[in-house]
């Protein structure tokens, strides 16, 4: 009898789900470009190479990735704590506005620190309020987080277009700040926010997988009944989960106004909160997996915009591509892929 040695390599189902989502999104994008563009060759070239063509495009792609990383980390941490933060868009917007109020009045290095703290505090309060309503009144955090953000965003629009608007400019925006985050790759928008975003993701990974508090937090969010059996109260995690999520979204707003734009203009969040949900879903709420997920999603977004600028695509088409990515990110693929390789004779 001859023994057959077989080595199996299993790709986890969650990883396969991420690959499936990204692959389907890229394939769908290519199909849309081929059918909708007047010159598919030029448009496809712009889609695949546009985000990396030169330091300006490359830096802007990484800058967008930094914003997605910070915001999606907030979404992932809320998921891990058993909550779903649907108010990221407004938390980013209000966080950027709070930071702008400080930066307009304190144009210094100290002002940057105070602006970051103001952005974090505003996002935390908005998120924690939903957590309090969930814990003490049984309110659904999806609804409350969305409604709080939707209610406060028009107030931010009024302040930006009214009292805070630069009267000498033609945009619905504040004046340019006297101090901004240092740029890493001028003339692109890439700033030190990229480094901070990577550091925050790593700290999130250490918290979830390397600390006792993170283990309790993770168990309370994923298996509340098991957590209660082990003496962990899942409800104690709701307010911190929503608060941390809101704080990171607020910090994203600070990175956007102080790093990317250098001012606060009306509607600057521009769907960033929704895109962050897609990134968190693609990464299956694993902090380190957010890095490739944010890079790929940022490439898909910037690539579709580059294809728009090349020829043949409409704004509606690029919006449809980004919406399709968000939908495909929700696909669940739970069965692992097992690859086998053996040697020997039967």
The span from the CA of 96 to the CA of 83, in Å, is: 24
On the 0-12 / 13-18 / 19+ scale of CB atoms within 10 A, 198 is middle
Question: Would you write out the chain's pLDDT as a tens digit for each of its 346 residues?
Answer: 445 455 554 445 556 666 776 777 778 778 877 787 777 888 888 888 877 877 888 898 899 999 999 999 999 999 999 999 999 999 999 999 999 999 999 888 899 999 999 999 999 999 999 999 999 999 999 999 999 999 999 999 999 999 999 988 888 999 999 999 999 988 889 999 999 999 999 999 999 999 999 999 999 999 999 999 989 999 999 999 999 999 999 999 999 999 999 999 999 998 899 889 988 988 889 999 999 889 888 887 777 777 777 665 666 666 676 677 667 666 655 445 444 544 444 4
Instruction: Specify the pLDDT at position 20.
Output: 72
The span from the CA of 84 to the CA of 146, in Å, is: 10
- HSE value, Cβ hemisphere, 13 Å, CA-based, for 218: 16
The span from the CA of 304 to the CA of 312, in Å, is: 12
- 102-106, Cβ contacts within 8 angstroms, sequence gap of 24 or more: 103/177, 103/178, 103/179, 103/257, 103/258, 104/164, 104/174, 104/175, 104/177
Instruction: Specify the pLDDT at position 278.
Output: 85
φ and ψ at 340, to 5 degrees? Answer: -115, 145
Classified as helix, coil or strand, 56 is helix
On the 0-12 / 13-18 / 19+ scale of CB atoms within 10 A, 174 is buried
Tokens of 279: 């990134």
The residue assigned the tokens 């969010």 is 221
The span from the CA of 327 to the CA of 333, in Å, is: 14
The span from the CA of 88 to the CA of 276, in Å, is: 8
Instruction: Specify the pLDDT at position 339.
Output: 47
Cα dihedral 100, 93, 69, 117, rounded to 10, equals 40
Instruction: Specify the pLDDT at position 10.
Output: 46
The span from the CA of 328 to the CA of 19, in Å, is: 11
The span from the CA of 264 to the CA of 180, in Å, is: 12
The span from the CA of 116 to the CA of 15, in Å, is: 34
Instruction: Specify the pLDDT at position 179.
Output: 94
Classified as helix, coil or strand, 341 is strand
Instruction: For the chain, give the number of residues.
Output: 346
Cα Dmax for the chain: 89
DSSP string, 13-28: HHHHHHHHHHHHHHHH
Instruction: Specify the pLDDT at position 194.
Output: 96
The span from the CA of 221 to the CA of 225, in Å, is: 10
């Amino acid at each position: 009898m001859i023994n057959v040695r077989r080595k199996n390599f299993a790709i986890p189902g969650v990883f396969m789900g991420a690959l499936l989502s990204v692959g389907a999104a890229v394939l769908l994008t290519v199909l849309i470009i081929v059918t909708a563009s007047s010159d598919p060759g030029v448009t496809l070239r712009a889609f695949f190479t546009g985000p990396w063509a030169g330091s300006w495009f490359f830096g802007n792609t990484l800058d967008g990735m930094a914003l997605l990383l910070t915001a999606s980390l907030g979404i992932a941490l809320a998921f891990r704590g058993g909550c779903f933060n649907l108010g990221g868009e407004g938390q980013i917007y209000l966080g950027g506005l709070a930071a702008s109020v400080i930066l307009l009045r304190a144009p210094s290095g100290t002002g940057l620190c105070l602006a970051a703290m103001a952005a974090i505090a505003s996002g935390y309060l908005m998120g924690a309020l939903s957590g309090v309503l969930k814990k003490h009144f049984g309110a659904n955090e999806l609804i409350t987080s969305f409604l709080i953000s939707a209610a406060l965003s028009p107030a931010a629009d009024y302040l930006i277009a009214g009292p805070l608007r630069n009267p000498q400019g033609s945009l619905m925006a504040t004046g340019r700040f006297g101090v901004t985050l240092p740029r890493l790759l001028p003339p692109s928008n890439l700033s030190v926010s990229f480094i901070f975003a990577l550091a925050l993701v790593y700290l999130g990974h250490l918290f979830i997988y390397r600390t006792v508090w993170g283990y309790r937090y993770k168990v309370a969010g994923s298996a509340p009944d098991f957590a209660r059996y082990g003496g962990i109260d899942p409800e104690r995690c709701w307010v911190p989960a929503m608060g941390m999520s809101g704080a990171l979204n607020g910090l994203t707003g600070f990175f956007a106004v102080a790093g990317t734009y250098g001012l606060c203009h009306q509607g600057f969040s521009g769907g960033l909160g929704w895109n962050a949900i897609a990134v968190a879903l693609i990464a299956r709420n694993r902090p380190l997996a957010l890095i490739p997920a944010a890079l790929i999603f940022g490439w898909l977004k910037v690539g579709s915009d580059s294809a728009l600028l090349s020829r043949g695509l409409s704004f509606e088409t690029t919006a449809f591509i980004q919406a399709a990515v968000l939908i495909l990110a929700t696909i669940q693929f739970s069965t692992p892929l097992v690859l086998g390789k053996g040697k020997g004779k039967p």
